[in-house]
Chain A
Amino acid sequence: MFDKKKYISKSENTDTNISRRTLLLSIGVSGVFALMTSRLAYLQLYRHKDYKSLSDENRITHRLIQPSRGVIFDTQGKAIAKNIESYHASIILEEVADINKALASLNQVLPEKKIDINKTIKKIKKSKKFVPVQIIDNLSWDEFAKLNSNLYQLKGVFPAMGYKRFYPQKESHAHLLGYISDISKEEYKDNPFSKLNNAKSGKIGIEKSLDRELRGRLGSKSIEINAFGREIRELKRIEGEVGQNIQLTIDSDVQNFCFDLLKGLSGSVSVMDINTGNYIALASAPSFDPNKFSDGISSSDWQDLINNKYKPLINKSISSFYPPGSTIKPLVALAALEKGISPNETFSCSGKHEVEDTSLESGIKNFHCWKKDGHGDVNMNEAIKVSCDVYFYHIARRVGIDKIAEVCRRFGLGNEVFDLFYEEQSGIVPDKKWKQATLGKKWLIGETLVSAIGQSYFLSTSSQLTLAFAQIVNGGKKIKPNIIYEDDKKDVKIPTLLAAQSHLKILMKALDDATNESGGTSYRSRILGDKKMAGKTGTSQVRVISEKEREDGIIKNKDLPWNKRDHGLYVGYGPSDKPKYAVSVIVEHGGSGSRSAAPIASKIFKFLFRKKMDIKRSIIINV
């Protein structure tokens, strides 16, 4: 009885004990559930916004869309810089069964393009396995076709097509157009295209100066990607803007003709239509093939270019400056006319001009004429025609350097012709102020004399000389030079006149005689027939000729090393009776202007007189 009671009581005790402990267990479990739920609320409600944006960052990526680069046309509407299809071979790793085998068979199909298998595999392994990796660039059409017909044995290899910049005129337009290549580190900040994988930018010429217009505006698209980076779908797309097409005033036929004339020489030619101010040709030699840069130039080719002493990368028509030599004389003559010197006043040339110089032992410094025995009595017309240095020494002393410099600047020397090219140089027009400011020294009278024959500190580019002459022969109207073709402006301004018509007529007559009258410096290069050219030669020294050498006989150009020879210049216009074109030719270290430059100018004028100039505008308008 007692035992039983005890048993029951114990059992009851156990019952309540179990119930109590089970209740505690339930409460414990429920408590943890509550904790879990609050954690869930924290994540899903309180932190929802943070996680939402993290989730979007996870899944959305932005890709930029590169617009096609603008095409550059010449004045005839011919594309001179365009985008052509390029072919290459790509590989997608995840679709290849055996990468070694695939590349080996690719080598069999295209033995000319033999690829380094190990290197290529390393490159492929760097990318995600579903991303196409370009393994052979620049396949020819034949190779591309061969690849296509052999695809059955090249699983995972794909023929692909892209675009590259192509310059059909190659060397002849290279400096003018420039080239494009990989965006450099310095450009990263300013060029939005640097965010693109493979984008290129213009490096010199039009490609550089109008890079912003040509490249267009980037588009972008938002893409949903998965955890492995694979693109799932496009969410949003913002279209970019294709690059602007640009038409130049350059006529590729004239440009090619000029460039061909410079073959084997180092120098430049610039040709301008004096009525419009349009440059028709800006040629520079030697040159390079800009297409090499589109493909990625080899380092040996690049070394050759930068080490070449003829400097093929420099656009000599705008970036190289030379002492203008005698081509400056018409402007000095104009300065004299404006100072009241009569064109009929004569000066006697005995071959040299003496100036007092106390620093010298003899007390006298001699300034020589190019003609050792002198020209005798010459007036202005004769002086320009035969290019008498002594005449100009005389008038320069009377006129003064500041007046000469003022006239030269008025006609465009010492200033950049185009407000466009990064590489353009402005040259130097020296005067007293300039010397004090740059050299910190006083101007010497002797320097006025040598400046009057385009030596001393004078430096000009060939495009500047063309501009100066164009403004002399177009009736003195100030020209706004163009290289980018612009439709005729509606509001035609009354032109600014740079000089008196009577003065200009005197100069033109002299220039005409210099070429077309016996005894003129470029008489040998004159053009027979109705349409004639007229112009001034120039021979600019690059070395000092000593008195001793003058007595012993000046060493002939052909006996000097190339870089000591004189530069040969010719600046002219034509037809002489009704001027339309101005041309300047500079042959670096080519010897005398009459022998080296004038014959080239003559050929260019003949070509220009024959050629039918047509301008096609409609083609280039962006569609």
Chain B
Amino acid sequence: MFNSSFSSGNLSYSERLKRINYFIILLILILFSFGLLALYSVADGNFNSWPKNHLYRFLIGLLLIFFLCMVDIKIIFKFAYPIFFLNILVLALIPFIGTETFGATRWIKIAGISLQPSEFVKYTLILALAKYYHNIQDTNINSLSKLFIPTVLILIPTIIVFIQPDLGTALVIAIGSFSIFWVAGLSYRYFITGGILGLLSIPVAWQFLREYQKERVFTFFNPERDPLGNGYHILQSKIALGSGGFFGKGYLDGTQSHLNFLPEMHNDFIFTMFGEEFGFLGSVFLIIIYLIIILLSFRMAITSKSLFSRFLSIGVTFVFSLYVLINISMVMGLIPVVGVPLPFLSYGGSSTLAIMGGFGLLMNCHIHQRTTLEKGDFF
């Protein structure tokens, strides 16, 4: 089907297709099917609203994965910085050309499709940082001067997103990028001092939080503070999960969700609905699939030859883990509500595309695990 004339770089297209890790694709498909089921339940048995759109987005996402698999890693490596800066540019332009929803300006309309550049910047930042540390592999990365550029690279998107305001995404961007520092081998000292500085900066960061964000944090520490306001959602979410029990209330029979006691069921709180209807059994099954995907991805990451692809794979995997961990912890009342979707289940176009794009990059690294990369320039 694919002959060598279609090949690019060292690998032919058919070889690339062959090297894709189809087991992970299968796991993703399973997760997505659960998402579709859950959204169908959220929509009270109406396929044409959320489930249908979710399906379209997922199909586009699959195309994106396969497209990214077909691209030579050298090209991705080459354009890592430009892609990141283009993303930053669009992000920076949002206040002027974006659309406002619920008091936050996060979206930009391109050809009639609303996209959220902040979802993509989580991955493009990883791309840029991976390239940076690939380039400086021969030098002492622990010197402070070498730390300056990546810090700036991280701060730019984090600050822009933070003032949008979108605390959850800003956190994922920042924490996600630390994984590159970690695997690049930055001294533990930095992580310890960073941690201390981070704790010390909380009072300062607090000043910059919006009122509603402060409320959420207050509510997290004392949900009974406002049982009908901010605490209501988290309390109802816990009730929904808890009342699900071991086997759940049964598909389409979740009372908390179908009687509208849950907020944002199609989005951030979809795990709650899933947990109510499918119980502990279903939820743990879901969590295990996520964990398998993550562990497989980490294993795939360290088999790559080039540092760029290792860093990239690990960063992408870690960002994916953050999505899952933050979302599920949030709906179970372990951390404050920050607004992070659950991959493949939540109904969100940009996040689905970004996450699947991330898996595209991961697969690309996996396919090109034996390709070595020279240190590159800016272009």
What is the interface of chain A, defined by CB distance below 8 A to chain B? 7, 10, 14, 17-19, 21-22, 25-26, 29-30, 32-33, 35-37, 39-41, 43-45, 47-48, 50-52, 54-56, 58-59, 224-228, 232
Contacts and interface: CB of A to CB of B under 8 A. Distances in A.
A10 to B, nearest CB: 8
A25 B290 CA distance: 15
Contact of B280 (A19, A41, A52, A54): A41
B325 A44 contact: no
A48 B261 contact: no
A40 B332 contact: yes
A51 B242 contact: yes
B298 A44 contact: no
B180 to A, nearest CB: 11
Interface string B233-256: 000101111111110000000011
B280 A29 contact: no
Contacts of A32: 325, 329
B292 to A, nearest CB: 10
30 contacts: A21-B185, A22-B302, A26-B294, A30-B295, A32-B325, A33-B325, A36-B287, A36-B329, A36-B332, A40-B283, A40-B287, A41-B280, A44-B246, A44-B283, A45-B280, A48-B242, A48-B243, A48-B246, A51-B239, A51-B241, A52-B245, A54-B243, A55-B243, A59-B256, A59-B259, A224-B259, A225-B259, A226-B261, A227-B236, A227-B261
Given A37-B284, A55-B243, 5 more contacts: A26-B295, A26-B298, A29-B321, A33-B325, A36-B328
Contacts of A227: 236, 259-261
Given A22-B298, A36-B328, A50 B242 contact: yes
Nearest to B248: A44
B241 A18 contact: no
B104 interface: no
B266 interface: no
Contacts of A228: 260
A20 to B, nearest CB: 10
Contacts of B129: none
A25 B321 CA distance: 11
- Which DSSP category, helix, strand, loop or mixed, fits chain A's interface? helix
Interface residues of B, number: 45
A42 to B, nearest CB: 9
Given A51-B238, A232-B259, A18 B243 contact: no
B224 to A, nearest CB: 13
B142 to A, nearest CB: 12
B157 interface: no
B158 to A, nearest CB: 21
Q: Which secondary structure characterizes the binding site on chain B?
A: helix
Contacts of A58: 236, 239, 255-256, 259, 261
B61 interface: no
Contacts of B302: 18-19, 22
Interface in B291-307: 291, 294-295, 298, 301-302, 307
A50 B314 CA distance: 41
A10 B302 CA distance: 16
B328 to A, nearest CB: 5
B183 A25 contact: yes
B298 A14 contact: no
B79 interface: no
Contacts of B246: 44-45, 48
Contacts of B33: none
B243 A51 contact: yes
A34 to B, nearest CB: 9
Contacts of A48: 242-246
Given A51-B242, A55-B255, A228-B260, A40 B185 contact: no
B99 interface: no
B291 A44 contact: no
A36 B325 contact: yes
A29 B325 contact: yes
B132 to A, nearest CB: 15
Interface in B304-347: 307, 310, 314, 318, 321, 325, 328-329, 332, 334
Contact of B291 (A17, A30, A41, A225): A30
B275 interface: yes
Contacts of B287: 33, 36-37, 40
B179 A25 contact: yes
Interface in B137-182: 137-138, 179, 182
Ordered nearest first, which 7 A-B pairs have the shortest CB separation?
Answer: A51-B242, A55-B243, A226-B259, A44-B280, A227-B260, A227-B261, A48-B245
B373 to A, nearest CB: 13
